[in-house]
Amino acid sequence: MAATNNDWSGRYYHIDQILDKPGPRTDPSFLAGDGVKDFLRKQAKILVIGAGGLGCEILANLALTGFKDIHVIDMDTIDISNLNRQFLFRPADVGKPKAVVAAEFIMKRVPGVTVTPYFGKIQDKDEDYYMQFNLVICGLDSVEARRWMNATLVNMVDPENPESLKPMIDGGTEGFKGQARVILPTFTSCYECSLDMLNKQTAFPICTIANTPRLPEHCIEWASVLEWPKVHGDKKMDTDDPEHISWLYSVALKRAQEFNIEGVTWSLTQGVVKNIIPAIASTNAIIAAACCNEAFKIATSSAAFLNNYFMLIGTDGVYSYTFEHEKRQDCPVCGGEALDLTVSPETTVDQLIDLLVERQDIQIKKPSLSTPTKQLYFQAPPQLEEATRPNLEKKLSDFVPPNGEVTVTSTSLPFSLSLRIQYSA
């Protein structure tokens, strides 16, 4: 007779059926029995990044699967709009740090599990911090944060030290669509390798939002892009500030009424300015389960882990498939080769910067450029930006010969991109 759910043996009875003996899909390195259970429950240390819609599901799954030493990082506080799907939070928790509340909830409901929270940014931690974990699971809603984490884990790999390789499991959702993937830094394709698979952000023509708005989104874009700087000058808009969102909402609503446009709401306003896609609780649950399943397989070797990409399409029925995403040889993070870029001889430095921002497989915000001998343009500090600003209007060919290299950096990313410049005839 199985033990009750009040003790560990009962809680993990079904997990033990997998770990006590090999199965038909067991990895050859799998050592069934007490050893693997001891590693899972007493030695494995796992980091979860994000305690939102995905993170809440991931934390609960990990605790119920047998991981006992879990850490979680999140920089956000709980908003009332989170409560419909982020089930670790209650109305009384609104305004509190997500990581702290989620950790307390899990430890209360699953005795014996330790969840250590950090309320802050992933960039606050150094490599020594990340080196302590056996693997990392990302449940983020930010491409930029994923890129930073991915590059950090790749840079940590030391060929002389196998322990420096930290598998990264990445999950993401967009409405009824989702993906989960396993990244073995320097061995498999990394997150940067697949930037061109991301949906390009929608951009509305300025002439449309200024003169002939037809959609509620046009009114919101008008308020944020045109009216905000007109009214507030150089004051930067904070999309996490409720007062700023309220101002945008009221201005956009007034404009929508002028053009007889319906549909401007608070949530849509927030979604447009923060590029938020509505979250679906069931999609989060499926993708979180996929991520935790891979974490369990990696930690125990009880089955072969994913190689290396899982996609869920739930828009028309339920459809999923897996495939191997291959490494890009010119990936700036794990490829090691310069990216060939062909431009017109008339291309200016400013136009190159626009290209780097817009190109789907690069997407670098506020890039700074240099050659082996010259600083072309630097975004910061202010003195250097001012000194290099005149170069923006000059032709790139004035500084870079054919087959010459340009190094691209950004303060938001912990890596540099090497471009090998070619000129079209």
Q: What Cα–Cα distance (Å) separates residue 29 from each residue in 26, 36, 66, 214, 300?
A: 8, 11, 20, 60, 9
Which position among 56, 190, 193, 207 bears the catalytic label?
Answer: 207
Maximum distance among all Cα pairs of the chain, rounded to whole angstroms: 80
What is the Cα Rg of the chain in Å? 24
Give CA–CA dist 351/150, Å, rounded.
Answer: 28
Give CA–CA dist 331/328, Å, rounded.
Answer: 5
Q: Helices 281-300 and 53-65 sit at what angle, rounded to 10 degrees?
A: 40
What's the CA angle centered on 118, arms 78 and 279, to 5 degrees? 40
DSSP 81-139: GGTTT-TT--GGGTTSBHHHHHHHHHHHHSTT-EEEEEES-GGGS-HHHHHT-SEEEE-
Give CA–CA dist 29/47, Å, rounded.
Answer: 24
Give CA–CA dist 244/259, Å, rounded.
Answer: 23
Is 190 designated active site? no
Residue 111: exposed, middle, or buried by beta-carbon count in 10 A (0-12, 13-18, 19+)? exposed
Residues classed as catalytic:
207
